[in-house]
């Protein structure tokens, strides 16, 4: 009976995560791009969490808007979004050329946060996102090349469907090759050790000394993601920036 | 065994139902919020902060005041004392008449260390009067949201320091950003002219 109980308890945990389209990412350590302090590589421990298998789709975002009309294009508070929010939408509807199964983009950080929060979830931290994605890159030059090739391509007019790129070792789809993704703490990228003024922000990242501080100088793809995040503001909405949600495992 | 299965199933549904109840609740709250808040106002932020006196606090309760606000952390050795001294200079540069409707707010990035008692102690040590409020939130999302609205960047460093933008923001009486002092080389006296 005890075994049966454990089994069902496990089933409950797995099924609640799975029914919401998530998989568990086991705790572990990895060396993030900027994990080094004064030249010493620093491993970062990431606790286990559930992560959405796919980025949030247009269809899913539309159902969210039905429940939370304050996030509709015509209702959203200016402080939570710039003019590009759902830019290609006509009122309540996405442009007819957009597939319901394609990832939702043109949304601000605030909107992404509100969406996750409505599901009882949250946005992943940069560390969680990079950790989930790092698995694909270790000793895999092909993968790195694929990612860089994708970064080098101009935006395609239409985004593919979620689940159309590839699945990584954790069972997560589309971390690379479809869209860029919002993270909870995107506004922590590119801050120097000392903050005597915003003019000094980002200096250590691009000047020679910054590259030396980076733990993995050959991970250009991660450099690009950090650079991209640092260029964002929370009210930005662009055509290739979407998101997925996570949940801490208690 | 069958019963156990039913229990498990109903548990799953309960969790689901709870989620939905929560959504609806939030939804009604949103609908009930006062229509007078302009879309650009910081008072659209719904976060409940915890103050130095361990009381819940909503930013919109500052409505009607001019607000001078900065995000800081109290263990900070370098820029935060400077932020506070700048804010004190602003306070000292404006007329008594204007001071009546002016508030000074410090929001801490560091809820683990900056507990209400720590904030109270700091307020005393710095001799901050009743126009000053210190607050924080244990939810990183809340801190990131405020930082996002203000354009503040911050990062917790391995040594416990928090690297962050140096920024003081002035809100008008409806909570809209009127002016920001960015970087340490701007003059607080010039800034005070905006109040």
List the structure tokens of B179: 């002016």
Contact at 8 Å (CB) between A116 and A245? yes
Over chain A, what is the mean pLDDT? 80
- Over range B37-58, report the average pLDDT: 96
CB-CB under 8 Å, B19 with A201: no
Give the dihedral of Cα atoms B6, A247, B135, B95; nearest 10 deg: -120
pLDDT tens column, B79-106: 778 899 999 999 999 999 999 999 999 9
Angle at B71 between CA B69 and CA B73, to 5 degrees: 135
Q: Which helix (H) or strand (E) holds B11?
A: helix B2-32
Residue of A nearest to B166 (CA): A197
Q: What share of chain B has pLDDT > 90, as a percent?
A: 66
Q: Which helix (H) or strand (E) holds A132?
A: helix A126-134
The sign one gets for the Cα dihedral B109, B115, B117, B118 is negative
Cβ burial of A188 (10 Å; 0-12, 13-18, 19+) is buried
Q: In this predicted structure, which of A89-93, B12-16, B110-114 has the lowest mean pLDDT? A: B12-16
Q: What residues form DSSP beta bridges with B48?
A: B58
- A-contacting residues in B 29-58 (Cβ below 8 Å): 30, 38-42, 44-45
Helices (H), ranges, B94-186: 96-99, 116-125, 140-150
CB-CB under 8 Å, A78 with B40: yes
Q: How confident is the model at residue A169 (pLDDT cuts 50, 70, 90)?
A: confident
Up-side HSE of residue B123: CA atoms within 13 Å toward CB?
Answer: 22
CB proximity B25 to A under 8 Å: no
Q: How many residues does chain A have?
A: 250
pLDDT of residue A159 exceeding 80, the answer is yes
CB-CB under 8 Å, A120 with B30: no
Q: What residues form DSSP beta bridges with B56?
A: B50
Q: How confident is the model at residue A10 (pLDDT cuts 50, 70, 90)?
A: low
pLDDT tens column, B134-185: 999 999 999 999 999 999 999 888 778 888 888 999 999 999 999 999 887 7
pLDDT tens column, A178-187: 899 999 999 8
Rounded CA-CA distance B189/B135 in Å is 25
CB-CB under 8 Å, A12 with B153: no
Distances (CA, A) of A235 to A73, A183, B188: 13, 13, 28
Q: What is the DSSP string of B42-91?
A: GGG---EEEETTS-EEEGGGGTTSEEEEEEE-TT-SSHHHHHHHHHHHHH
Contact at 8 Å (CB) between A57 and A102? yes
Q: How far is A196 from chain B (nearest CA, A)?
A: 6
Distances (CA, A) of A81 to A184, A186, B23: 16, 16, 22
In this prediction the ipTM stands at: 0.79
Rounded CA-CA distance A221/A146 in Å is 10
Contact at 8 Å (CB) between B45 and B59? yes
Q: How confident is the model at residue A140 (pLDDT cuts 50, 70, 90)?
A: low
Contact at 8 Å (CB) between A243 and A108? no
- Over range A125-145, report the average pLDDT: 76
Q: What residues form DSSP beta bridges with A25?
A: A49
pLDDT at A199: 40
The reported pTM is 0.81
Q: Which of B68, B69, B74 is nearest to B52 (CA)?
A: B74
Q: What share of chain B has pLDDT > 70, as a percent?
A: 82
CB proximity A83 to B under 8 Å: no
Cβ burial of A66 (10 Å; 0-12, 13-18, 19+) is exposed
pLDDT of residue A61 exceeding 70, the answer is yes
Most distant CA pair in chain B: distance in Å?
Answer: 76
Over chain B, what is the mean pLDDT? 85
Higher-pLDDT residue of A79 and B22 is A79
3-state DSSP helix/strand/coil percent for chain B, to nearest 5?
A: 45, 20, 35
pLDDT at B113: 94
Q: Which residues, including other chains, have CB under 8 Å from residue B1's CB and lie 6 or more apart? A: A4
- The SS3 call for residue A163 is coil
pLDDT at B79: 74
């Amino acid at each position: 009976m005890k075994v049966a109980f454990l089994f069902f308890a496990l089933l409950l945990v797995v099924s609640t995560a799975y029914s919401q389209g998530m998989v568990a990412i086991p705790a572990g350590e990895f060396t993030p791009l900027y994990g080094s302090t004064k030249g010493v590589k620093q491993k970062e421990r990431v606790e286990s969490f559930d992560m959405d298998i796919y980025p949030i789709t247009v269809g899913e975002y539309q159902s969210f808007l039905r429940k939370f009309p304050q996030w509709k294009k015509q209702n959203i508070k200016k402080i939570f979004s710039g003019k590009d929010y759902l830019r290609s939408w006509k009122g309540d509807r996405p442009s007819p050329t957009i597939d319901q199964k394609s990832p939702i983009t043109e949304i601000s950080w605030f909107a992404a946060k509100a969406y996750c929060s409505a599901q009882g979830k949250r946005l992943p931290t940069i560390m969680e996102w990079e950790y989930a994605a790092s698995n694909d890159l270790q000793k895999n030059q092909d993968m790195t090349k694929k990612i860089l090739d994708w970064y080098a391509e101009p935006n395609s007019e239409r985004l593919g469907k979620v689940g159309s790129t590839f699945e990584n070792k954790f069972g997560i789809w589309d971390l690379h090759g479809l869209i860029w993704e919002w993270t909870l703490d995107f506004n922590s990228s590119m801050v120097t050790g000392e903050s005597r003024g915003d003019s000094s922000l980002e200096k250590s990242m691009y000047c020679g000394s910054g590259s030396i501080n980076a733990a993995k100088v050959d991970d250009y793809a991660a450099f690009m993601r950090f650079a991209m995040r640092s260029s964002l503001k929370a009210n930005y909405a662009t055509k290739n920036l979407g998101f997925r949600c996570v949940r801490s495992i208690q | 065994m069958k019963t156990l299965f039913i229990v498990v199933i109903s548990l799953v549904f309960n969790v689901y139902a709870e989620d939905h109840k929560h959504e609806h609740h939030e939804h009604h709250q949103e609908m009930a919020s006062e229509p007078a808040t302009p879309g650009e106002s910081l008072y659209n932020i719904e976060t409940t902060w915890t103050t130095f006196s361990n009381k819940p606090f909503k930013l919109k309760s500052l409505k009607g005041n001019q607000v001078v606000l900065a995000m800081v952390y109290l263990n900070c050795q370098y820029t935060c004392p400077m932020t506070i001294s700048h804010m004190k200079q602003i306070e000292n540069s404006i007329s008594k008449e204007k001071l009546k409707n002016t508030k000074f707010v410090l929001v801490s990035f560091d809820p683990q260390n900056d507990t209400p008692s720590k904030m109270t102690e700091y307020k005393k040590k710095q001799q901050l009067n009743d126009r000053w409020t210190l607050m924080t939130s244990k939810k990183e999302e809340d801190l990131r949201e405020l930082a996002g609205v203000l354009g503040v960047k911050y990062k917790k460093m391995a040594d416990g320091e928090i690297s962050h933008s140096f920024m003081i923001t002035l809100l008008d009486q409806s909570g809209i950003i009127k002016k920001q002092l960015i970087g340490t080389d701007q003059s607080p006296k010039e800034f005070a002219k905006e109040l």
